[in-house]
Every structure is written in C-alpha cells, then in structure tokens.
Structure 1
Amino acid sequence: MTFIDILRDHLDEFNAHYEQQITSSMQQAIFAMLSCRTNTERTSQWACQSCPHHADFPLSCGHRSCPQCQHNTTEDWLAKQQAKLLPVEYYMVTFTLPFELRVIAKHQPETIYQAMFTVAASVLKDFAKNSKQLGGEIGFTGVLHTHNRRRDYHPHIHFIIPAGSFNKDKRQWHKSKGKYLFNSFNLAKVWRARLLEKLTDELNCKLPEAIPKKWVVDCQHVGKGLPALKYLSRYLYRGVLPDRNIISNIDGHVSFEYQNSQTGTTEIRTLPTVKFLYQILQHVLPKGLRRVRDYGLLQGSCRKLRLQIQLMLAVAGAVFPIIAEVKKVVAIRSCPCCQQPMKFMGVHGKKHARLTSFIMQKTREPNATV
C-alpha cells in the first residue's frame, strides 16, 4: 500500500471534507502524483536490439512532493554539498516558528517562509560578525522543514554551519575552537524581535494577540558535516513520508511509523484515512519556493574562494573527509520476449509515440514502404 494508492482510493472523500483547506499547490501536487507513471500523454520509448519488441512507458511526474520521484535529485544535491565540506567542526542551528504564528503560515506560506529565511540568515551573519571566535564571513546552508516526525505542522529551518570564518582583508581562514558557537537564548531573542518586526512593519501581517515571549532556537554541535547533510536530505525531494513507513490501511484508518526524536524508539501513529491524507498534503510547498538555500561562503558564486580556503587548509595539514563516489542510476529494462537489455529511444508525446511505433513496425517488415 502506497500513499498514492490511498490518495486515489479516497480522493473524493478527501476533497469533500477538506474543500476549504485545499490550496492550488496541493491540487497541483495531487494531480501530479495521480498522473505519475500512469499518464500516457508523454512516454519513454524503448526498443529491443535483439528482437522486434518495443514498448512505451509513462513518465514519472517529477513533483518534489511525490514519494515515487526525485531520488536522483536528492543524491545530486547531497553530492554537491559534500564537495563543499571543510575539515572543521560543524553546528546545526534550528529556528522554529512558534505555535501561535503557524495559522498565519498556513494561509500565507510563501510570505512567512521567505521571511523566516531572510530573518534567520541575517541573525546568523550578525552573530558571526560580532563573535570573538569568528569575526569574519561565514557560510551556511538552510533547509526548510514544515513538519516534525509525527508529521504535524511544525515549520522550522535547519542551518548547517562550518565552525570557521574567512577574513577577506587578511586573506585568512579563522577556525573556531571548542564546542561552542552561539548562545541559543540570545539567538532566540533576536530571532523573535526581528521576525515580528518584519511581519508587522514590512509585510503588514495581522498577528495574534497572544505571542510567547520565549521562542526556541537550538544550536548544537554535530561533529563533521556529512551526517547532518544526510539527515537534511531525507525529506528534500521525495515527500514527507516514505511509502515504506506506511504499515497498514484498515477499516478507514491508516497507521504509519516514525522515530521518536526524544527516545530514539520507533512509534506508530494511526489516523482516519482522510485526516491522514491532509496530514501529509498540508506540507506541500508553494510552487517555486526554494526550500534549500546557501549563504555566504557556500553560495555558488563563492566557488573559487571556497576552493582557495580548502587549499589553505590542505597546506596547513588538515585531513579532508573521504567522499564516496555517487553512482549515477541508469534506467535498465529487460525485453519480456528475449530477456535482453532494451535501449532507450527517447521521450515522445502521445501522437508522436504512435507515429514512431507505426514507422518502427513497418520498417521491420520485409519490402515495406512508409
């Protein structure tokens, strides 16, 4: 049982129950997922090189919320981030939107998420400039997550930060020492003040009366950067719940498993089927919104400078992490007639595919003319 199977079987009931909450982005995601590998308007065409057999196969939808797609996209992103790793300690700083503001985020997701990125990045840059340990330009990567492990709506941004800075005037890399980067309580105070100011003064958002005085920002030492990057890559492009985590769909209820972040144990959550569908689809992001962003030294435009820093560290004797080669996944299909490999012939539209099939059939016939 997959998420798409459940969605297809209960779509009418879902639409009737959540008609007012379904956004255009959710509608687009639903259409894409239900069309994934079933829509024959565009197909990939394959031909056997050992016998006359040929076949067309529907394409994947490619939507970032689809649990069947984007595996290669995730691997490509992870490979690019690994190439940026430095032989230093890393920290993960997490900025969380308080519960009282999540209603606004649901109604204005693009506005709120963009504001979260802008404000959180400015806080980190200013803290780095004023830090005695850093005092220069830093680099960091931010990833937006909209859920916790129970898949409740819980917008937050994880930032992965290498513990070091670059002094452009002296052309020197300054390595941060110890297991401390920034004070979490001070980060939270500035995060709260700046985000509320941006929402009210710049974006004219109407805020609720009861806003907590204490917000949550977590700053943790995570050792080397690769484990943290792998953690962040889990939910980037393949939906928020892997199909393997869905364990049952019985009597109008769906059960899925998740790992409790506090105890590390695997737990099971059961929801009515329609509520389960909304629990997952509410995390579909607005079209065009970037959920992953690089800042400072980790931006694409700083590649040359980043290579210079890596060279400096290598000359100084630093040991760089060994990066495993990412193997490209090559699509392979075997011929059902002779079991020999089939050759990919291209992607075609429906009319073009029928015409090509007709031509291939005719050209295999003796004395045929087209």
Structure 2
Amino acid sequence: MKFIDILRDHLDVFNQAYDGQITTSMRQAINAMLSCRTHTQRASLWTCQGCTHTADFPLSCGHRSCPQCQYNTTADWLAKQQTKLLPVDYFMVTFTLPYELHVAAKYQPESLYPAMFSVAASVLKDFALNSPKLSGDIGFTGVLHTHSRRRDLHPHIHFIIPAGSFNKTQQHWKKNKGKYLFNAFNLAKVWRARLLEQLVKLNLKLPTSLPKKWVVDCQHVGKGLPALQYLSRYLYRGVLPDKNIKRLVDDNVSFEYEDSQTKSTKVRTLPTIEFLWLILQHVLPKGLRRVRDYGLLRGNAKKLRLQIQLMLAVAGAVFPIIPEIKRRLATRRCPCCQQPMRFMGIVKRPTNLIP
C-alpha cells in the first residue's frame, strides 16, 4: 500500500474537503509526489549489456516529503554526521512546543520553526557557558520533528550533544562526568520565556492563555551513533513509510506506529481524507531546514573538531567503530534477456511520452 497511490485516487475529494487550508508548499509536494517516477521531462537511460535493448525510466521527484525518494540523501547525512562523532557520552535534549501554540505552527511555520531553533540553541549555549561542569563551548545537532508517533501535529526539536566542552583560552577539552548534563526544569523555564519574547517580536498572534510549565527533556543516551540513527529516520523521506500503511478498507486507512509509552505496535485507522491531511500537514515551507549544526559541530569547525579528536585520542579514548553505510545503487534487469543493464546518463524524454 503506497501513500502516493492513495493520494492520487482521492485527490479531488481531498482538495474539496481542505480547500483554503492547503498551503503552496503542500501543493508543490503533492505535485512532486504525483509525478514521481511517472510524469517527468527527463529520464535515466539504460542499455542492456547482453543484447541491444535500451530503455528510459522517469526520474524520482526528489522531494523531501516523498516517501519513495531521498534514501541516499539520508544516508549521506548520516555518514557525514558519523565523521563528527567523539568518543564521549552523548545527551539528547528535546524542546517541545506546547499544544496551545500548535495553531501558530499550522499557519505560520516559516516564522515559528526558525524561532524555535534559534531560541533553543541560545538556551543550550548559555547553559553550557554557565555550567561549572562545562564552562565552555559545546557542539550539538538539532533535528525538527513536527509529529508524534501517531502522526498528529506535535512540533519538537531533538538536540544531540557530546558530553563535554572546549575552552578556547586554555585550548582544553573538558569532559562532562556522570549522566547529568542540565536541569530540565530550568531549561524549560528559560525556553518558555525566551521563545514567547521572540514570538512577540515576530508579531505572531499568541493565545490568551498558555501553560506555566513547558516540557524539555534531557536524557543520557550513551554513545552518539544510535541517537543519530534515530534522528535520521524522518529527515528526508516523509513522516510515514509506505511499509507502515497496512490496509485501505471501506474508505478507511490503517497504519502502524510504535506507542511511546509501552513500545508496543499499535494500529490507527482514519477516514482516507483525514489520513491524507494528517500526513500532508507536516510538509515544511520551502527552504526551511529541518536539521542544523551548532558550535563545535557546525560545518566550518572541522579543524577544531580534528584538534579535539586528537586530544581525546592522545588521552587514550577509544573511538567508536563506524559501520559502513551502504548507498542504494540503481539496478535494472533487461526485460528481454534478464541481463544487467548499464546506466548511460540522463536524457530528455520525447514530448509524446510525457502524459
């Protein structure tokens, strides 16, 4: 069962039901997904190595919300992040937007989500500088997730943080000892105050009542690789893999998800049109980056990271064994002789072959 097939079969009814709520970014995502590997002006050209047969195939759309694209993009990101791993413990800090601000996330994501990133990053940097255990510069990677496991709107940012800091003056790496990094309740207080102040500056309309207590979670997660793998799941391939969609019966779609409390697999069933909206509401505005690196993990800090890695190696730290990430290589079999076909390049498809 494929999301794109459900979308194609129910698009007209969906457009009628949610007319006025579908954003330009959603429209662009819908058009891209419906043309994925079908209605493209360019195609990949293949020739058989055993006979003279040639064929061209429409290209993938490449849209980050498409569930059948972007596998290699995710693999490339994970491989790049693995080169930054340090032989230290890691923490995951999660900043969650309260339910009362979900309306702002729905209608003004292009303003709200960057504000969430900038405010949360400033909170982490200041806590690190003021912490007696760190008192220096830290590095962290943030990934925006807009959904819960049930795929409801639930914006939050996960940050993975190596447990240590670098003192530029002393040229020294300071290790954070133990399984405690920051007080989550104090993080939440500052997160609430700073984000509300920033939203007022952006002229975002705020609800009349907001909870006094917000939620920030700070957990020790051991080594960094499992955390990176977790964050990579929903980066570039939509929010619901096709394998999780189990059935479409009587105009109702059922999909599986893992319950966050019991860790058991559960099934959620929705009318088809509601299901489509549930998924498409997570399409991000064009140009908004879902993942960002800060401090010691930013792109232009490579030289400093190598210096820190050398310091840790000299101190006897054991670096993690990084598993090889396999890229998916496109393969084709000749329909005539079943021999492997060779990729020859990208060509423009004849106009009469484009629907």
Identify the TM-score tier after normalising by the shorter chain: over 0.9
Q: 2-side partners of 1:280 and 1:328: how far apart?
A: 27
- Using a 3 Å threshold, how does the CA distance of structure 1 residues 352 and 52 change in structure 2: closer, same or farther? farther
Q: 1-side partners of 2:321 and 2:250: how far apart?
A: 49
2:295 aligned partner, one-letter code: G
Q: 2-side partners of 1:184 and 1:178: how far apart?
A: 16
Q: Which residue of 2 aligns with 1:252?
A: 251
* 1:38-81 CA distance string (max 9 Å, x none): 01421111112332210010100000000000000111111111
* 1:214-267 CA distance string (max 9 Å, x none): 000000110111111111100001100000101110001000010001111001
1:307 aligned partner, one-letter code: L
Say which SS state the counterpart of residue 158 (structure 1) adopts: strand
TM-score scaled by structure 1? 0.94
* 1:312-359 CA distance string (max 9 Å, x none): 1011100000001223322111211122221111111124999xxxxx
Q: 1-side partners of 2:207 and 2:351: how far apart?
A: 56
Q: Which residue of 2 aligns with 1:20?
A: 20
Q: Which residue of 2 aligns with 1:79?
A: 79
* 1:130-182 CA distance string (max 9 Å, x none): 00110000000000000000000000000000000000111110000011000
Q: Which residue of 1 aligns with 2:31?
A: 31
Q: Is the 8 A contact 1:144 1:158 kept in 2?
A: yes
2:92 aligned partner, one-letter code: M
1:294-313 to 2 correspondence within 5 Å?
A: 294-313=293-312
1:27 aligned partner, one-letter code: R
1:216 aligns with 2:215: yes
Say which SS state the counterpart of residue 95 (structure 1) adopts: strand
Q: Which residue of 2 aligns with 1:287?
A: 286
2:320 aligned partner, one-letter code: P
Q: Which residue of 2 aligns with 1:188?
A: 188
1:5 aligned partner, one-letter code: D
1:343 aligns with 2:342: yes
Q: 1-side partners of 2:350 and 2:152: how far apart?
A: 44
Q: 1-side partners of 2:101 and 2:49: how far apart?
A: 60
Q: Which residue of 2 aligns with 1:276?
A: 275
Q: 1-side partners of 2:51 and 2:269: how far apart?
A: 50
Q: 1-side partners of 2:247 and 2:193: how far apart?
A: 45
- Using a 3 Å threshold, how does the CA distance of structure 1 residues 352 and 170 change in structure 2: closer, same or farther? farther
1:44 aligns with 2:44: yes
1:176 aligned partner, one-letter code: N
Q: 1-side partners of 2:40 and 2:300: how far apart?
A: 40
User: Which stretches of structure 1, 4 residues or more, deviate above 4 A after TM superposition?
Assistant: none
Equivalent pairs counted in the alignment come to 353
Q: Is the 8 A contact 1:248 1:254 kept in 2?
A: yes
Q: Is the 8 A contact 1:43 1:353 kept in 2?
A: no
Q: Is the 8 A contact 2:89 2:222 kept in 1?
A: yes
1:78-227 to 2 correspondence within 5 Å?
A: 78-200=78-200, 202-227=201-226
Q: Is the 8 A contact 2:67 2:241 kept in 1?
A: yes
Which segment drifts farther, 342-351 or 82-91?
A: 342-351
Say which SS state the counterpart of residue 142 (structure 1) adopts: strand
1:240 aligns with 2:222: no
Q: Is the 8 A contact 2:71 2:328 kept in 1?
A: no
2:246 aligned partner, one-letter code: I
1:213 aligned partner, one-letter code: K
Q: 1-side partners of 2:212 and 2:44: how far apart?
A: 56
1:325-336 to 2 correspondence within 5 Å?
A: 325-336=324-335
Q: 1-side partners of 2:142 and 2:326: how far apart?
A: 26
- Using a 3 Å threshold, how does the CA distance of structure 1 residues 40 and 197 change in structure 2: closer, same or farther? closer
Say which SS state the counterpart of residue 186 (structure 1) adopts: helix
* 1:84-108 CA distance string (max 9 Å, x none): 1111110000001111111011111
Q: 2-side partners of 1:153 and 1:49: how far apart?
A: 49
TM-score scaled by structure 2? 0.98
Q: Which residue of 1 aligns with 2:319?
A: 320
Identical-residue share of aligned pairs (%)? 75
Give the superposed CA RMSD: 1.2
